[in-house]
């Protein structure tokens, strides 16, 4: 697994246990998907107090715990990433507008459904090139 910066580790450690398991799983999925795309190296940093994942030609993904509970995968709200994902999955997932996919505290994560969303985010700006 990719080494985690200390400030990012502190953000994971501060998350509730059930949410921490979920966001750690999503972290691993982001790095796994990055290896299968032309995203380039993924940088892990803290943005707005949340673990964030940036690729050279991508749109930032963040992981966090919304006020409503559970955990979330956040995308930039000025992209169509979440709305495209919602259309692609037939509304099967709970989303928050154009900014997040929401998960219940101990939700099972459907890697196969989320992988295309992650891949598109990590290569977002290549679409325009």
Q: What confidence tens digit (pLDDT) does each residue in 72-109 have?
A: 999 999 999 999 999 999 989 999 999 999 999 888 89
* Angstrom distances, CA of residue 46 to CA of 9, 12, 42, 81, 111: 10, 11, 13, 21, 23
- Residue 84 forms part of a structural domain: yes
Domain that holds residue 42: 6-126
- Residue 78 forms part of a structural domain: yes
Tokens of 120: 């598109």
Residue 27: give its domain's CATH number.
3.90.1150
- In the chain, how many domains are there? 1
- Residue 120 forms part of a structural domain: yes
Residue 1 has pLDDT above 70, yes or no: no
- Residue 75 forms part of a structural domain: yes
- Residue 1 forms part of a structural domain: no
Distance CA 123, CA 20 (A): 26
What kind and span of H or E run contains 44?
strand 43-47
Residue 128 has pLDDT above 60, yes or no: no
Residue 116 has pLDDT above 60, yes or no: yes
Higher pLDDT, 88 or 1: 88
- Residue 101 forms part of a structural domain: yes
């Amino acid at each position: 697994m990719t080494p985690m910066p200390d400030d990012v580790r502190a953000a994971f450690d501060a998350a509730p246990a059930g949410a921490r398991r979920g966001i750690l799983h999503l972290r691993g999925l982001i790095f796994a998907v990055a290896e299968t795309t032309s995203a380039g190296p993924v940088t892990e940093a803290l943005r707005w107090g949340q673990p964030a994942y940036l690729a050279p030609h991508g749109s930032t993904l963040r992981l966090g715990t919304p006020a409503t509970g559970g955990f979330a995968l956040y995308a930039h709200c000025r992209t169509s990433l979440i709305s495209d994902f919602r259309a692609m999955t037939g509304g099967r997932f709970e989303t928050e507008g154009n900014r997040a996919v929401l998960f219940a505290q101990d939700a099972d994560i459907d890697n196969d459904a989320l992988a295309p969303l992650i891949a598109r985010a990590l290569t977002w700006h290549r679409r325009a090139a």
